[in-house]
Structure 1
Amino acid sequence: MKQIQHQWRVTKYNPDNRDEHGHYTLVEDWTSPYEIGKTFDGNELTLDDYLRVEEAYIDSAIAFMEESGIQSVRVLGLEGSITEEDRASFLYESEFEGIVLKEDSLVDLGVLRLIMKMVLRDFIWCQLYDGDRFFIHLGTDYYMYIGSHVNCPAAIEWSTTNSLFVEKETSPYGISEEAAVWEIGWNELDDEAKMLVGEEDVTGIPLDECRRIFRLSAMHPVTGSFVIPRKEKGFFQRYLKHQMDFDLYEYRLWGGD
């Protein structure tokens, strides 16, 4: 994917409270919903306080999305799923169970709201994007980055009116196709931890063929981790010095930076 022209950092953090290096250190602030009940800068973070901020993040992202003319986005780099421990959390909502989450799923605004809640509450992690036109990156410490193919003055105004701060900032989570690298790694079949015992860089691998094999959309950048099917040994062996042995190992293609 090409780098999207307009990118912003949208957060609850006032840039006036950053030091000369851009670090947010001049006041104490919460960075996770699991700090509800703690005191920051003399104020207790209540559940209601948290939910107001969470809703502002989600509504802000949707405002940017709508101004960009985007009706749906795809899931990229999905990690995690709802666990029994999550179900016991006071932040769990039964509606989360109705979402069928998988890599490259196409989601509309209604589902997007729930997915963003799950990411902001640390139940799962993923990026949300529409090719070279739009993205939402939810990072660590409650940072959100948004990119669009058009400028979004109305969304910026909405966000600032609702106690968020919008700064022109390139997302640290974006990966361009030009900067991406691909590797094939393998672990022993009986290793539940899936610790790699070997890996090799692969160059010149045709991404369109990888998209076909892993059933990805045409816009997917083939970043992330994908289990290589045994039946595709012939295709991937062309790019490896290691002799693939599916009776001993599980193989994965990984793409990233």
Structure 2
Amino acid sequence: MQLSHVYRVSKYDPANRDDHGHYTGAEDVTSDHGKVEATYLQAVQAFASETGVDRLSVREPEVSTFVHFGLEAPMDGFGLGTLLPGGLDGFHDGAEVPLDTGLELVRLMLRDSGAWCRLEVEGAFAVHVGWDQYVYVGSSRPCHEALSRTRELGLFPERLDVSPYNFEPDEDGVQPPGDNDFWASLYSAVACGRAGLLEEIYVQNASRWHRLTGDTIDTVRAALAPRARLAVWPDLSSDTAAVLDALPSEGLVEGVWQDKEGQIHSAVADEDEFPELADLIAGADAAALLPMYADERVPLLSAVMPDGDGVVRARWQAERSLNDSPREVSG
């Protein structure tokens, strides 16, 4: 549902924009970690309070990849360690947080902590943080008092039709549920030796890896993050020499390996980092290489975990798998 009242809130005076809308004034594009940052939080709080919101849902959480585009260095644990129960483990799609915690998440995003999410109350309220200290607030109500308060704080609310950070589903995406049928298929694939590795994408750009046997599948399933995306891959190979021989001469790959203690790790590497990745794989018990390019990265099975009542409420899509890939059908 599109909210009827959307504003771009910033410290940038619209009077200091050129004919193309680019800001030409002296304000910095990073947070001051002080008074100005505090005014942003006060403005968001004013809009939320006038809308009648005291709790927010975390939607589509993500963390920095191996490439970080923020102007400030990412924070340890993305700044979530003392903010959410369980830190990063508590940062999942659908997590409900009090408004005060939501405001602290906005602060982390203003500081380029490396963690980002949408904060919403469906049909009533939303706040999104964009680049360069732009904050987008949407409400089902006009929020005249919040607008006045925002201006009193020295910020500039500008009316928009829609936030550029509204969730837009991939029209070609798939959302197969991680229901009993999915797990039955996974059991069969593991039993026949076709599959053996489960990728749990618990936030965007971060995965946990699980090596599967018939005896461990139920335990893994019970511990998955809410609304996680799942991708099923062939098992790791104990022939690490053959895995290393498969390294390409250039490009991006993801190496996945199990160390001597049984822990599974992964790393994305390009040709400059292949020697370091090769050293890690050479000392591992088992390993695999996975492609990074979208048209090549096709798991055996994929799914999105439903809520406890069996309904898939996550909005993000799973990777297309061989189960639903057009190339599988045409083959």
Aligned to 1:77: 60
Provide the alpha-carbon RMSD of the alignment.
3.6
What is the CA distance between 1:135 and its match in structure 2?
A: 0.5
Among candidates 76, 82, 93, match of residue 95 of structure 1: 82
Letter in 2 for 1:57: Y
Among candidates 25, 31, 50, match of residue 29 of structure 2: 31
Letter in 1 for 2:82: E
Contact 1:187 1:196 in 2 (8 A): no
Among candidates 148, 152, 164, match of residue 161 of structure 1: 152
What is the CA distance between 1:21 and its match in structure 2?
A: 2.0
What is the rounded CA distance, in whole Å, between the counterparts of 2:128 and 2:308 in structure 1?
A: 20
- SS of the equivalent of 2:173 reads strand
Letter in 2 for 1:122: D
What is the rounded CA distance, in whole Å, between the counterparts of 1:29 and 1:70 in structure 2?
A: 31
Contact 2:173 2:318 in 1 (8 A): no
Contact 2:110 2:133 in 1 (8 A): yes
Aligned to 1:21: 20
131 and 220 in structure 1: CA distance in 2 versus 1, 3 angstrom threshold: farther
Return 148-157 or 104-113, whichever deviates more.
104-113
Q: For 1:107-126, what per-residue CA distance to the aligned partner results, in whole angstroms no more than 9, with x for missing partners?
A: 11121122112111111111
Aligned to 2:2: 3
Uncovered stretches (5+) of structure 1, i.e. residues with no partner:
34-48, 201-209, 245-257
Contact 2:30 2:133 in 1 (8 A): yes
What is the CA distance between 1:24 and its match in structure 2?
A: 0.8
Uncovered stretches (5+) of structure 2, i.e. residues with no partner:
65-72, 175-229, 237-253, 255-266, 269-290, 298-302
Aligned to 1:171: 163
Q: Does 1:196 align with 2:293?
A: yes
Aligned to 2:40: 57
Among candidates 79, 92, 99, match of residue 109 of structure 1: 99
Contact 1:134 1:149 in 2 (8 A): yes
Q: For 1:14-36, what per-residue CA distance to the aligned partner results, in whole angstroms no more than 9, with x for missing partners?
A: 111011222112x2321113xxx
What is the CA distance between 1:133 and its match in structure 2?
A: 1.5
**TM-score (norm: length of structure 1):** 0.66
What is the rounded CA distance, in whole Å, between the counterparts of 1:8 and 1:95 in structure 2?
A: 30
Letter in 2 for 1:106: E
What is the rounded CA distance, in whole Å, between the counterparts of 1:135 and 1:216 in structure 2?
A: 25
Letter in 1 for 2:103: R
* More relative contact order, 1 or 2 (CA 8 Å, 6+ apart): 1
Letter in 2 for 1:65: A
Contact 2:74 2:112 in 1 (8 A): no
What is the CA distance between 1:61 and its match in structure 2?
A: 0.6
Contact 2:11 2:27 in 1 (8 A): no
What is the CA distance between 1:140 and its match in structure 2?
A: 0.5
| Greater gyration radius | 2
Q: Does 1:215 align with 2:213?
A: no
Aligned to 1:240: 325
Contact 2:307 2:313 in 1 (8 A): no
What is the CA distance between 1:173 and its match in structure 2?
A: 1.1
Q: Does 1:125 align with 2:116?
A: yes
Identity %: 26
Question: How many residues of Structure 1 are paired with residues of Structure 2 in the alignment?
Answer: 203
**TM-score (norm: length of structure 2):** 0.52
What is the rounded CA distance, in whole Å, between the counterparts of 2:308 and 2:108 in structure 1?
A: 23
21 and 6 in structure 1: CA distance in 2 versus 1, 3 angstrom threshold: same
Letter in 1 for 2:315: V
182 and 53 in structure 1: CA distance in 2 versus 1, 3 angstrom threshold: farther
What is the rounded CA distance, in whole Å, between the counterparts of 1:87 and 1:146 in structure 2?
A: 28
